[in-house]
Structure 1
Amino acid sequence: MRASRAEQYREFAATRATHLYRSACLLTGGDTHLAEDLVQETLGRMYLVWGRISRIDNPAGYAQTVLVRAFLTHRRRRSASERPVGDLPDSAPPPGDDPDLRLALLGALGALPPKDRAVVVLRYWEDRSVEETADAMHVSPAAVRTRTVRALARLREQLGGSLVEFATR
């Protein structure tokens, strides 16, 4: 029985890691190192509760909630403001990808406060409902709606007409 649960966890971790990493990259504003740390922490916490996984209706959704909570907890730490410095490696963008648009969006998302960023990622990247987002963040649905409106207004303000510029290329 233990071997099958361990195998189930390995399969779960292998299938969800990429999606968790993408979400973590959006939450961290493109900080890939922190995103990797958050995914590792999420998968570690999932391993601890895996024996009781039968009580969890949606393990993938639970993992996303754990990821968001890990991100918000990290942002509250004093050391969260430390940033490593170094050159980014050169890599070719995926075909059909617009790196300028991606950088503009990641920069604008990264400039948002952590809770606003979490709301935008959960609502629009993860496509969660207001209630699911409120549950993941431990806030009321009204707080999610208010934070969403303010976050989107900040994004529009930061991006200004630059999205029109990217769309007309």
Structure 2
Amino acid sequence: MSRPAGRALVWLDRVETGLIALLVLAMVVLAGAQIVLRNFFETGLEWADPLLRAMVLWAAMLGALAAARDDKHIGLDVLAHFVHGKTRRAIRIVTLLFAAGISATMAWYGYGLVQLDFGGGNTVAGIPTWLVEAIIPLGFGLLALRFALRAFLPPRNEDMPVLAPELP
């Protein structure tokens, strides 16, 4: 991999990880505030619960992308544990390409969902519903791309660093 491409991937990984951390932190703070407001002041933020549900959706999709990035996603490749060499490599390619195909299909239908809600005027905590749902086609599209690329790369193991070494 070329040095600029390696740097771009390192920065992309950092941004992705930072977004997940920021999103989870915001969810903890917002949920904590809701608990305090409800238990001690008998009130709450009307918009917080729908926003938290939307944030969980976004965190789940970003987390799935990070898992696929680090080759830590859930895999149903039982057969691969009983074979070795080229057969194992072939099974890995087939299963990852199958996952890419399923993810691409989910992205396609997610896009249809976003189209249905686009311009509808519905909101989640003041955010247009289609914008909240946009993570579905975007996330699954990126998952499809990531799975397809991972199919032709060597698997990551625990001895390999998740991120490339620090670049100056």
User: TM-score normalized by structure 1?
Assistant: 0.29
Larger Rg: 2
- Which has the bigger relative contact order, CA under 8 A and spacing at least 6? 2
More helix by share: 1
User: TM-score normalized by structure 2?
Assistant: 0.29
